[in-house]
Amino acid sequence: MKPDDNALFLAAMGDVQPLKRCADVQWQPGRTARPQQRPDTSQLDNFLTTGFLDIVPLAQPLTFQREGVQQGVIDKLRSGKYPRQASLTLLRLTVEQCRQQLYTFICQAERDGLRNLTVIHGKGREDNAHPNIVRSYLARWLAEFDAVQAFCVAQPHHGGSGACYVALRKSDDAKLETRERHAKRSR
């Protein structure tokens, strides 16, 4: 760069602010990762069911809400206002691989104290397309986790009907932290 080019560039970029760091974690095991040396016992406890499946029609959006979850929380989840803390991509995986990946992902998110997740399952053009089969299983599986409080279709910029937001319940540590924070305010 010539000195006058550098000055022009700096003048043009003078009021530009850096983007905030995104706390988004893209969790996807590598395809070239070596197999684990120790046996993986987490899959032995995988309680997610397979077998007969009621296919969710494409026109029906994925949605689930446990009893007691406030409507304001659902509205905020649906509008994508909670920061995405981790995401899982299930594209081009078999149903069994999806089942295993989802189980591991949710269990790890619980251990890490994460609350807001995104699961990308893909879009199909027909009800019997593979992405819609995965989507239908996903609706069943997510409801089987006690930790899952709610899930719904993602906003278009996060995958739209090919993804869903998942809200996990607060960990006991997070509940204690909230109680302590509110107790300090009331003093």
pLDDT tens for 89-138 read 999 999 999 999 999 999 999 999 999 999 999 998 898 899 999 999 99
Strand bridging mode 116-120 / 86-89: parallel
Predicted local confidence at residue 35, as pLDDT: 43
Residue 119 near residue 102, CB atoms below 8 Å: yes
Predicted local confidence at residue 31, as pLDDT: 47
Q: Measure Cα distances from 33 to 24, 101, 103 in Å.
A: 22, 15, 19
Does 2.60.120.920 match the CATH number of domain 52-186? no
Q: Could you state, in order of their start, the residue ranges of all structural domains in the chain?
A: 52-186
